[in-house]
């Protein structure tokens, strides 16, 4: 392999370990989420400076509704604040925001802030920042397939014409290249229903660092590991 450092185009992150980070410090779990939210902003900036073109982060899963009401409320409030305060920053840093996941279950005011933020940053040309909220990969695939089924019913396509591209394009990530690197922080080694379809060939990187402690150094380490791998797509190395 040559020594040239290749930057992954799209990095996806399962930001895990907030609760354990807080517990270790004798703080409520919500303090871990608050620190985690600050880290997201920093890592977005770092990723952009490193030349990463797309960053996708898992903020709230379809399964996270089963947490205690108070924790869900506090996570939603953090997201609410983020949507309201980040526009100025996005404008300054040329960031383009897209929220992936089923937004229809979110509070009305949050849906409105998200729509405004997506609209107002749509023409930015810098890093693409995807935030997964009420996101579950299986749910996303179901919604994509439903959209195609409706087109079949309307007679726009034949069932046999449905192909991988159509399913890909109807996912919430439609139009965005699939992640080449998936990072999970916090020590667990599982996917937890994140981007199952899109990460079919992503390199996986697991680290023990809890998300609130994650820094540019950790991101660089992940990129280094990515660079040391021989990427294959089922064929032989070219
Ligand atoms: C990740 O941290 C943030 C969310 C899932 C919202 P956790 O809250 O899962 O933290 P741990 O895994 O319990 O430490
Ligand atoms: C995955 O973390 C979801 C997010 C990071 C938003 P979880 O902590 O919810 O996942 P599990 O329960 O460990 O699989
Ligand atoms: Mg967790």
pTM of the full predicted structure? Answer: 0.96
Going from the Cα of 214 to the center of ligand 2, the distance in angstroms, rounded, reads: 16
Nearest Cα residue to atom 12 of ligand 2: 192
Pairing verdict, β 10-14 and 203-206: unpaired
Write out the DSSP string of 115-131: HHHHHHHTT--S-EEEE
Reported as a single tens digit per residue, the pLDDT across 209-237 is 999 999 999 999 999 999 999 888 899 87
Output phi, psi for 188, to 5 deg. Answer: -80, 150
Reported as a single tens digit per residue, the pLDDT across 65-121 is 999 999 999 999 999 999 989 888 998 999 999 999 999 999 999 999 999 999 999
- For residue 168, the model assigns a pLDDT of 98
Which two tokens mark 197?
Answer: 């379809």
For domain 10-229, the question of CATH label 3.30.420.40 is answered with: no
Ligand 1 pocket test: pick from 13, 20, 37 the residue with the most ligand atoms within 8 Å of its Cβ: 20
| Annotated domain spans of the chain | 10-229
In DSSP terms, 205 is beta-bridged to 183
With a pLDDT cut of 90, the percent of the chain lying above it is 90
Q: What single-letter DSSP state applies at residue 210?
A: -
Ligand 2 pocket check for 135: Cβ under 6 Å: no
Residues contacting residue 93 through CB under 8 Å, at least 6 positions apart = 45, 48, 126, 127
In whole angstroms, give the CA distance from residue 189 to residue 205.
9
Going from the Cα of 96 to the center of ligand 1, the distance in angstroms, rounded, reads: 26
CB 96 within 8 A of CB 128: yes
For the chain, the farthest-separated pair of C-alpha atoms sits apart, in whole angstroms, at 60
Which two tokens mark 116?
Answer: 């405004």
> Residue 2: is its pLDDT beyond 60?
no
- Helix then strand count (H, E) for the chain reads 7, 6
- For residue 237, the model assigns a pLDDT of 76
Confidence category of residue 238, pLDDT binned at 50, 70, 90: low
């Amino acid at each position: 392999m040559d020594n040239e450092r290749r930057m992954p185009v799209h990095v996806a992150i399962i930001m895990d370990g907030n609760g354990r980070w807080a517990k270790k410090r004798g703080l409520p779990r919500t303090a871990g989420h608050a620190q985690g939210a600050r880290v997201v902003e920093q890592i977005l900036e770092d990723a952009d400076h490193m030349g990463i073109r797309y960053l996708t982060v898992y903020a709230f899963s379809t399964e996270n509704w089963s947490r205690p009401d108070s924790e869900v409320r506090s996570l939603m409030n953090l997201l609410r604040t983020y949507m309201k305060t980040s526009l100025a920053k996005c404008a300054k840093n040329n960031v383009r925001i897209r929220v992936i996941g089923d937004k229809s279950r979110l509070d009305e005011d949050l849906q409105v802030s998200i729509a405004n933020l997506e609209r107002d940053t749509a023409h930015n040309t810098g890093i693409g920042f995807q935030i997964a909220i009420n996101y579950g990969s299986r749910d996303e695939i179901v919604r994509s397939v439903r959209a195609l089924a409706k087109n079949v019913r309307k007679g726009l396509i034949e069932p046999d014409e449905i192909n991988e591209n159509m399913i890909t394009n109807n996912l919430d990530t439609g139009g965005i290249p699939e992640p080449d690197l998936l990072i999970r922080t916090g020590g667990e080694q599982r996917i937890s229903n994140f981007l199952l379809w899109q990460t079919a060939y992503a390199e996986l990187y697991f680290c023990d660092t809890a998300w609130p402690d994650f820094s540019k150094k950790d991101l660089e380490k992940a990129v280094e590991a990515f660079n040391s791998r021989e990427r294959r797509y089922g064929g032989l190395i070219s």
